Amino acid sequence: MQVFLQGLLFGIVYIAPIGMQNLFVVSTAIEQPLKRALRVALIVVAFDTSLSLACFYGVGKILQSTPWLELAVLLVGSLLVFYIGWGLLRAKEEAMGTMDAEFSYKAAVVTAFSVAWLNPQAIIDGSVLLAAFRVSIPAALSHFFIVGVIIASIVWFFGLTTLISKFKHLMQPRVLLWVNRVCGAVIILYGVKLLATFVTKI
């Protein structure tokens, strides 16, 4: 139980800081009905869980030992992140909360994959942190830790989606629009950071 709680606490602390996944979940909760936003949260959880499992078992070493693959991920990731951020910046006030015609689960899957898997720095950092915990825990108990991390992801993303969806009616459409645009601007900054890292590694 203690190892499970360590994993749960680590998962919350690791996911909670503002990042591309959280910004994507927040913008979706603002734009879409609750049921649809929860489905998107489930997609985000699936990719976040797969990333956590991969990091826990050392995929970061592959990127570190394969420079061309790291460069490819950086370039593709930065371009996709720019595209995602630009889409949020261009959101229109009248579309907020009623984007049925423009919504696409295919686009949601691509975006969820991008914000989780196309950030090699996150993969490497996650690998280092999770690997550090893994070697500090008896092998027989390590699965309890990663289960705690996965449950933290589920609780966080579903909780965040529900909270934003339930209280967005208290905000004016223009405020929601600007929240979305701020999210878009921050995501674009992540794209700039990824592109800058790509350039410095060439």
Domain count, the chain: 1
Question: 88 and 179 in contact (C-beta within 8 Å)?
Answer: no
pLDDT at 173: 65
Give, in order, the Cα–Cα distances in Å from 86 to each of 10, 23, 91: 32, 13, 9
Higher pLDDT, 59 or 36: 36
The three-point CA angle 36-39-41 to 5° equals 110
The most confident of the ranges 13-27, 47-61, 83-97, 120-134 is 47-61
Each residue's pLDDT tens digit, 57-84:
877 667 667 788 778 877 887 887 788 7
Q: How confident is the model at residue 122 (pLDDT cuts 50, 70, 90)?
A: confident
Segments forming the whole domain that contains residue 38:
2-11+19-201
Give, in order, the Cα–Cα distances in Å from 118 to each of 9, 81, 123, 189: 25, 9, 8, 15
Taking phi over 0 as left and psi of -120 to 50 as alpha, with beta for the rest, 43 belongs to alpha
CA 33 to chain centroid: 20
CA 101 to chain centroid: 24
Each residue's pLDDT tens digit, 81-120:
788 778 777 766 544 444 444 678 898 998 899 888 887 7
**Residue 35 burial (CB < 10 Å; 0-12/13-18/19+)?**
exposed
Taking phi over 0 as left and psi of -120 to 50 as alpha, with beta for the rest, 58 belongs to left
The rounded percent of the chain whose pLDDT value lies above 90 is: 18
